[in-house]
Chain A
């Protein structure tokens, strides 16, 4: 019998199960886009049959980092920029967990940028949601890696001279298997994208546009959102890497030109996930590593067995 009975338990799951009882109410500002992520995630998880105890959400620091304070599952609120390596390892140790990592644009594209490149290139089977509001929120409004060129803040008083990062193109180049952008103002699409990402067997990167009503009043919540899957003007084959690259390049330019395109850009339906690659190489255990610690009959190999070559 498994030591993790919550995993794969089949039952009707009410989305309220993901809402903590007497626990803190969100401290996000009124009108914050982060509410949109929380809501979409709470809706998506039960719809794909995940119960709160088989889900591990791993967050970084910032307003986004509080996501798992308000979502009642197993949660790990880590440190600034480090959610991905923590999440990756939890998934390797117990591949049956549903691992969802989340962070902000400062957390995920700034301080944690290096981890994103490597998690994407390894194509770990997990979902990564980046709350992108183009500004540092919790530290009070500084310029972030996605702030547009010319963005003025207390730390860039003359306006930023830096080109904003293109996170989705970067993840595509790195090797992520599923790439999408959605927005808090587009709740139905957001839920569908999260569901797809969770069910995708590989690294799913969602750039989630979340307006910041306090520090970034110019944010794009007021401009038209175009769902590329719904619009004939933007048709492309999402499984074609080159087309996806062109599409992403175009949309990442438009992101700062008053027109916001959202939707699914790329789905690699051929490349195996990292776990699958590692299994093929014989470098993953046959069953979840963690189960072994609860198996009284398991024969643990000892260093004594390795001494032959030291004689």
Chain B
């Protein structure tokens, strides 16, 4: 646990403006020169219920939410009462305070809204006693009253931010500037005055005995605050994607919304349609006609996409799908992260179906791998899936603006122009051989396509097995040739990834270590931080965040597994799905692998992984925390 960082948690009811307030505050901290990482926790309801956002801000690079937090702004849940205060919905009102105390660090600061939380309720929490034990500094402040004085009760968020800034000894300027950017007129004036009053009041009335302060840095104008969903949408836009079809489902909706808000302005098309079968089928139709297209969903909606996914594969229509995982089965926990759709995404759809699956490990990778997913889909005429989760989808991180300063790539891959069609493989009758299967002509498995409306390229695309011309065929020799050709694509993609690109896997830690930690997807940053900490603590550990799920990076993983005696496989699910994939591909290393699993709806914290490593591989005999489960190595 490092002290040169602030982890500010704002808690309240959904609908109380927690999200927008935290987004602005995160930007203000970024503008003051700090590295930012945000984490969002919310219930599956629109208004009320316990929700919080954490902002981790430090003078050094941050890759995860960190362990616990050190500043709590508990606003109370204003939706716990109905507007006329006729009914109270259970104990919701106090939750922003009561639900959050367990993770508050020693020496931490609590600001709670004494205008919204009843004194009796607070007394029941034994707050004084616990504060003394943990050296917490508690500031009960009537934020609601202060906001009311300025005319609008909802502005208690702003009052809370003002108090926070004073207690952390921050410069107000960045927050004021952000408000000026976002609002105008009376609303702006009211917010600014309440912000300044709250700031002044806290400065004047309280003694600051706590040690928590906002770290300081230089304002770096090159920083932008982006979410995983932003990164995916931006990767798609830069790769020339101008068609998206979707159906709303949390957490995929974020990508869908960002794309929809931008595409029409860029001459693109967005369609919200009747269901996910239609959504993926639309993406197939648009791509068939020559647009760069995508669709996506979360687990339940992706289940419906299994049909069009197979159709895209058989007709060799380029298709990019994104799958934002949340806890299942069925509707599961709609707003909680989990990594339990890996097998679903790898194997769904009938037949010897094959697709490409990438799992980005952080926001930069989400951008890069979205671009790669489009590149692969259009060059190889194969469906590609980007699998990520609610955590990566909703978290924000600061990134150098220059990271996005890349050339667009609006090419349609293996698609012929009319000129090229004149030269393309034709049979004597003049018919274009869309699905040319001669192994000499199609070494990498790809047979270039034409587009409807082009002269000289007409063909039938069929979800049935077909002749090179596209017409339906059940001929055994043709079947084998076509199947082998489609299979060759996966091998060629693996070859291209290995030979022409830097690895999509991320390595960290001590290269010479004999012990390793393996993870995939959104847990990568957390594991990276854990490995760093373990090495600081005197262990020797190396880590890898794996992004290529299919085709599997056999060479790289063999090398990694050969180099360690034992490895911990960290993932957010109950059935060790990624470890299952490792054992399917490289079964001989099974005895080296121990799984560390978490599936309670919250992502790992780095400290949990440090502890888990020490218990399983580091010789520590302590019991693991209750929220984590180990699954021993094969034969253990």
A290 near B285 with CB under 8 A, answer no
A293 near B412 with CB under 8 A, answer yes
**Who on chain B is nearest to A295 by CB?**
B410
Q: Which of B226, B271, B417, B461 is the one whose CB lies under 8 Å from A89?
A: B271
Any B CB within 8 A of the CB of A184: no
Any A CB within 8 A of the CB of B452: yes
Q: How far is the CA of A311 from the CA of B226 in the complex (A)?
A: 9
A85 with B285: in contact, given A3-B454, A92-B269 (CB under 8 Å)?
yes
Q: Which of B198-206, B238-246, B499-507 contacts A (4 or more CB under 8 A)?
A: B238-246
**Who on chain A is nearest to B464 by CB?**
A77
Any B CB within 8 A of the CB of A285: yes
Give how many A-B residue pairs fall within 8 Å (CB-CB).
226
Q: Which of B92-100, B307-315, B330-338 contacts A (4 or more CB under 8 A)?
A: B307-315
**Who on chain A is nearest to B408 by CB?**
A300
Q: Which of A23, A77, A90 is the one whose CB lies under 8 Å from B285?
A: A90
B460 near A77 with CB under 8 A, answer yes
Any B CB within 8 A of the CB of A78: yes
Q: How far is the CA of A285 from the CA of B230 in the complex (A)?
A: 23
Any A CB within 8 A of the CB of B588: no
Q: Which of B271, B289, B307, B418 is the one whose CB lies under 8 Å from A82?
A: B307
A89 with B460: in contact, given A82-B281, A82-B311, A293-B412 (CB under 8 Å)?
no
Residues of chain B lying within 8 A (CB to CB) of residue A88: 282, 285
Residues of chain A lying within 8 A (CB to CB) of residue B293: 89, 93
Q: How far is the CA of A280 from the CA of B349 in the complex (A)?
A: 39
26 contacts between A and B (CB under 8 A): A4-B418, A22-B429, A53-B456, A58-B285, A69-B471, A75-B459, A76-B460, A82-B281, A85-B285, A86-B281, A86-B284, A88-B282, A89-B285, A90-B285, A92-B286, A94-B451, A97-B289, A284-B264, A290-B290, A293-B290, A301-B266, A302-B238, A304-B401, A304-B406, A311-B224, A311-B401
B-side interface residues toward A, CB under 8 Å?
A: 27, 31, 221, 223-226, 230, 233-235, 237-238, 240, 242-243, 245, 262, 264, 266-271, 273-275, 277-279, 281-286, 288-293, 307-308, 310-311, 315, 401, 404-406, 408, 410-412, 417-418, 429, 431, 451-464, 469-472
| Distance to closest chain B CB from A19 (angstroms) | 12
Instruction: Given A78-B281, A85-B285, A306-B262, output 4 extra A-B contacts at Cβ < 8 Å.
Output: A53-B458, A75-B462, A97-B453, A290-B289
B311 near A118 with CB under 8 A, answer no
Q: How far is the CA of A53 from the CA of B458 in the complex (A)?
A: 6
A-side interface residues toward B, CB under 8 Å?
A: 3-7, 9, 20-24, 52-54, 56, 58, 61, 66, 68-69, 72-79, 82, 85-94, 96-97, 114-115, 117-118, 278, 282-286, 289-290, 292-294, 298, 300-304, 306-307, 310-311
| Distance to closest chain B CB from A83 (angstroms) | 9
A3 near B458 with CB under 8 A, answer no
B278 near A90 with CB under 8 A, answer no
Q: Which of B286, B311, B471 is the one whose CB lies under 8 Å from A24?
A: B471
Q: Which of B221, B273, B288, B292 is the one whose CB lies under 8 Å from A293?
A: B292
B283 near A6 with CB under 8 A, answer no
Residues of chain A lying within 8 A (CB to CB) of residue B292: 293
| Distance to closest chain A CB from B313 (angstroms) | 12
Q: How far is the CA of A170 from the CA of B405 in the complex (A)?
A: 51
A93 with B269: in contact, given A22-B429, A75-B461, A87-B285 (CB under 8 Å)?
yes
A78 near B311 with CB under 8 A, answer yes
**Who on chain B is nearest to A278 by CB?**
B269
B238 near A90 with CB under 8 A, answer no
Residues of chain B lying within 8 A (CB to CB) of residue A6: 453-455
Residues of chain A lying within 8 A (CB to CB) of residue B404: 302-304, 307
**Who on chain A is nearest to B282 by CB?**
A89
Q: How far is the CA of A294 from the CA of B416 in the complex (A)?
A: 10
A89 near B240 with CB under 8 A, answer no
Q: How far is the CA of A54 from the CA of B277 in the complex (A)?
A: 27
A282 near B453 with CB under 8 A, answer no
Q: How far is the CA of A27 from the CA of B281 in the complex (A)?
A: 27
Residues of chain B lying within 8 A (CB to CB) of residue A3: 417-418, 451, 454
Q: How far is the CA of A284 from the CA of B417 in the complex (A)?
A: 24
**Who on chain A is nearest to B411 by CB?**
A293
Q: How far is the CA of A40 from the CA of B245 in the complex (A)?
A: 34
Interface of B, helix, strand, loop or mixed by DSSP: mixed
Residues of chain A lying within 8 A (CB to CB) of residue B408: 300-302
Q: Which of A79, A97, A284, A300 is the one whose CB lies under 8 Å from B269?
A: A284
Residues of chain A lying within 8 A (CB to CB) of residue B224: 307, 310-311
Residues of chain A lying within 8 A (CB to CB) of residue B277: 82, 85
A114 near B264 with CB under 8 A, answer no
B237 near A302 with CB under 8 A, answer yes
| Distance to closest chain B CB from A259 (angstroms) | 35
B245 near A89 with CB under 8 A, answer yes
B458 near A285 with CB under 8 A, answer no
Q: How far is the CA of A171 from the CA of B27 in the complex (A)?
A: 51
Residues of chain B lying within 8 A (CB to CB) of residue A89: 243, 245, 271, 281-286, 289, 293
A77 with B463: in contact, given A293-B410, A310-B226 (CB under 8 Å)?
yes
A92 near B271 with CB under 8 A, answer yes
Q: Which of A69, A78, A286, A310 is the one whose CB lies under 8 Å from B267?
A: A286
**Who on chain A is nearest to B264 by CB?**
A283
B460 near A68 with CB under 8 A, answer yes
A5 with B271: in contact, given A89-B245, A94-B290 (CB under 8 Å)?
no
Residues of chain B lying within 8 A (CB to CB) of residue A22: 429
B223 near A85 with CB under 8 A, answer no
A96 near B453 with CB under 8 A, answer yes
**Who on chain B is nearest to A77 by CB?**
B462
Q: Which of A74, A76, A285, A300 is the one whose CB lies under 8 Å from B315?
A: A76
A77 with B411: in contact, given A53-B454, A69-B471 (CB under 8 Å)?
no
**Who on chain A is nearest to B367 by CB?**
A303
Q: Which of A91, A283, A304 is the one whose CB lies under 8 Å from B405?
A: A304
Residues of chain A lying within 8 A (CB to CB) of residue B286: 89-90, 92-93
Q: Which of A56, A77, A115, A278 is the one whose CB lies under 8 Å from B472?
A: A77
Q: How far is the CA of A285 from the CA of B264 in the complex (A)?
A: 7
Residues of chain B lying within 8 A (CB to CB) of residue A54: 452-453
Residues of chain B lying within 8 A (CB to CB) of residue A293: 240, 290-292, 410-412
B269 near A4 with CB under 8 A, answer no
B410 near A292 with CB under 8 A, answer yes
Q: How far is the CA of A300 from the CA of B245 in the complex (A)?
A: 21
Residues of chain B lying within 8 A (CB to CB) of residue A20: 431, 471
In order of increasing CB-CB distance, the 10 nearest A-B pairs are A89-B285, A303-B234, A4-B453, A290-B290, A86-B285, A85-B281, A89-B282, A74-B452, A310-B224, A77-B462
